[in-house]
Amino acid sequence: MSTIDAPERVAQPIPGPAPHLLVIQAPYYEAVVTGMRRGAEAVFETAGCTVDVVDVAGAYELPAALRMAISQPTKGPKPVRYDGFLLLGCVIKGETDHYDFICNAVCQGVMNVSTERGAAIGFGLLTVENLGQAEARSAADRHNKGGEAAHALLGQVALRRRWGLS
């Protein structure tokens, strides 16, 4: 781990009703993604959020699942409306170019959905050289990237509400 120490962050209150969030996770590296989700859940609990969780097969499926979640009908027998979306996954570099293709595709896909739809999104995709790096970034401490992505998401939810977009 780097010698740079991550700042202590505190979840800021969000005006209005408690945010309803969706976590879309790719648990290919289950222990890592579970650790990141727990870090995010601690932030969400402090902010009083309600959270649903869905799994996708791998990181590559995250952008499509995000688009589907955003496109859900808000009317009908069981309408679901989310104030924001947290994406969690991990890609570990291997011996082939597969890592580069997957990382680039996922990042670009999420950015496309984000800019097209203006959704509040927290992006917690680890792109690391080895499992040790992933474990360090999903540990139950302030370096947890799931927790960092959760803070970013809550900031986006608050911004959308401030601008009357929710």
| Nearest in space to 91 (alpha carbons), one of 104, 110, 81 | 104
pLDDT digits (tens, 9 = 90+) for 40-95: 999 999 999 999 999 999 999 999 999 999 998 877 777 779 999 999 999 999 88
Q: Is the pLDDT of residue 2 over 60?
A: no
Distance (Å, whole) CA 103 – CA 99 = 6
The answer to whether 59 is a known ligand-binding residue is: yes
Q: What is the pLDDT of residue 7?
A: 66
Domain for residue 32, yes or no?
yes
132 is a domain residue: yes
pLDDT score of 9? 73
Asked if residue 109 is part of any domain, the answer here is yes
* 4 has pLDDT over 70: no
Q: For the residues 127-151, what does the mean pLDDT come to?
A: 96
* pLDDT given at position 1: 46
Q: Is 137 annotated as a binding residue?
A: yes
The number of folded domains in the chain is 1
Residue 42 covered by a domain: yes
Using a pLDDT cut of 70, give the percent of the chain over it.
94
Q: For residue 95, say whether it is annotated as part of any ligand binding site.
A: yes
Residue 92 lies inside a defined structural domain of this protein: yes
Residue 154 maps to which CATH number? 3.40.50.960
Residue 9 in any domain: the answer is: no
Mean of the pLDDT values across residues 100-123?
A: 97
Is 107 annotated in some ligand binding site?
Answer: no
Residue 44 annotated as binding site: no
Catalytic residues: 98
Is 8 a member of any domain?
Answer: no
Average per-residue pLDDT for the chain: 92
Could you give the angle at the alpha carbon of 100 between the alpha carbons of 2 and 89, nearest 5°? 65
Domain span including residue 58: 21-71+81-162
Question: Is 10 among the domain residues?
Answer: no
